[in-house]
Amino acid sequence: MLCATDPLPARPRRVAIAGVSGVGKTTLAAQIAEVAGIPHIQIDALFHGPDWTPRPEFLDDVRALAARDAWVTEWQYSDARPLLTAGADLMVWLDLPFTTVTLPRVIARTFRRRLGRHRLWNGNIEPPLHTFFTDPEHIIRWSISTRGKYRERIPAVATARPELPIVRLRSTGEVTRWVAGPLTASMR
C-alpha cells in the first residue's frame, strides 16, 4: 500500500476513490479529474433515479464506465465495486479520522443539503432531518454503521489485485500533499 509521499508507478487513467460516506470521495475525485485531465463520473448520479429509487440501468452504466479509457469515480455500491476494481489502474483509500473529520463532514453536508433543499441526482432532495431516527439507511447512520467496512474491503482488493496500486490517505493534510505531490508529478 502506498502512502501520501510515495510516487505513483504510472500516470493514472482509471481511478476508484474508496472510503466511508462523507469522507470526501467526490471532492477528491473532482480534484483528480482536474489534475489528471480525466472525466469524473459521480457514481451516485448513475445509481439514484427519481424519488431515490435505484436506476435499472445502473450496472450497465457502471460496466460502460469501467470500460472507458479514462475515468475517476467513487468506489461505492456492492454490485458496482467489483466492476470498478477490475477496471481501475489506481485506487485511493480515504481513511480519515471518523469522529473528527468524516462524521462532522457528513452531518454538515446533510444539514446544508436539506436546509437549502439542494437538488441532487435526478431531482432528489435530502429527506427530512427527522428521518435520521426512523431510517436505518439515513446517510449519517449509514456512515456510522459502515465506517469500519473499508478496513476489510481494501485488504481484500489488495489480495485479489496485487498489481493495483492503492494509496491510503489518513488525514486531510495527506490528501493535500498527495494531490500536490505524487499525483501531480505523475502527470509529467
* Per-residue pLDDT, 28: 98
| Percentage of the chain exceeding pLDDT 90 | 76
Banded model confidence at residue 110, pLDDT cuts 50, 70, 90: confident
* Per-residue pLDDT, 176: 98
Reported as a single tens digit per residue, the pLDDT across 7-40 is 999 999 999 999 998 999 999 999 999 999 999 9
| Residue 138, pLDDT above cutoff 80 | no
Mean pLDDT of 46-58: 95
CB-facing half-sphere around the CA of 166: CA atoms within 13 A: 24
Higher pLDDT, 14 or 122: 14
Give the global pTM.
0.92
* Per-residue pLDDT, 115: 79
| Residue 154, pLDDT above cutoff 80 | yes
Assigned architecture for domain 14-183:
3-Layer(aba) Sandwich (3.40)
Domain ranges within the chain, ordered by starting residue: 14-183
Mean pLDDT of 80-109: 95
| Residue 98, pLDDT above cutoff 90 | yes
| Residue 112, pLDDT above cutoff 90 | no
Mean pLDDT of 42-52: 94
Banded model confidence at residue 127, pLDDT cuts 50, 70, 90: confident
> End-to-end CA distance of the chain, in Å?
23
Mean pLDDT of 48-57: 94
| Residue 84, pLDDT above cutoff 80 | yes
